[in-house]
Amino acid sequence: MSFVTTKDGTEIFYKDWGKGQALFFHHGWPLSADDWDSQMMFFLAQGFRVIAHDRRGHGRSTQTADGHDMDTYAADAEAVVQALGLKDAIHIGHSTGGGEVARYVARYGKGKVSKAVLISAIPPTFMQSDRNPNGVPKAVVDSIRDGTAYHRSQFYQDITIPFYGFNRPGAVVSEGIRQNWWRQGMMGAAIAHWECVRVLSETEFYDDLAVIECPVLVMHGEDDQICPFPTTGAVSWKLLKHGSLKSYPGLPHGMPTTHADTINADLLAFFRS
């Protein structure tokens, strides 16, 4: 397996397949690079080089209790970018990974990133606050942290239902998708996932979005039960200098998996535009 060692000694696992223009995928909490398999296989067949890493404490990366803040997550991604010598890459992030992309492109993207995509992403901010009065209530965030710390196995089973919209009328529940989510989650460290909930819920990205120079596509399901569209995607694209929005009526938070054909086709059109 391939790893990059960061300055603090954390080993970051990554996948790197194919040749051509590089697509760098950033996964959501509490998953891993494996969550992008449907995209990586599709875009590999389209002639792209596809790369995805496991965030520190997630998947196969070091199960460290330290470095859980968005600046460090972005620096870890930059360590992989530097190790692979990437130039003119496109960065795509889902959920928490969308926040990671926003911070990464704002900090490190000049001259390295040609485009970016935020899918079902947490920016501009996730939790309810004075600046985001309609955000997710702190009590809900606290319940996620409690479930992660003390009831993780069952909690990770339960959260897949709203994550993929499987609680909606007429939804076809895929046990394979649910089990794969649980498998990825249980690979990582409980402490890292617990800390990551704090990071994803409390970090603000207003300043990051404002300074990004490259074109950014915001993709968001209008029935997202995890990152509600009205306070995330519907707001963030307007804060970008070169932002565009593609919203999807009825689609869930996990739409890159449940509706991979639709999402992949729209990503391909953006990459080639």
**Helix, strand, or coil here: 246?**
strand
Among candidate residues 26, 201, 224, 259, the one labeled active-site is 224
In three-state secondary structure terms, 116 is: strand
CB 25 within 8 A of CB 98: no
Nearest to 173 by CA among 162, 184, 182, 185: 162
Angle at 266 between CA 260 and CA 100, to 5 degrees: 80
Would you call 95 a catalytic residue per the annotation?
A: yes
Tokens of 40: 């990586």
Cα–Cα–Cα angle for 246, 250, 251, rounded to 5 degrees = 65
Of 32, 34, 94, 95, catalytic: 95
Is 253 one of the catalytic residues? yes
Selected catalytic residue, list 26, 58, 253, 259 = 253
Q: What angle do CA 190, 192, 196 make, to 5 degrees?
A: 115
Residues with catalytic annotation?
A: 95, 224, 253
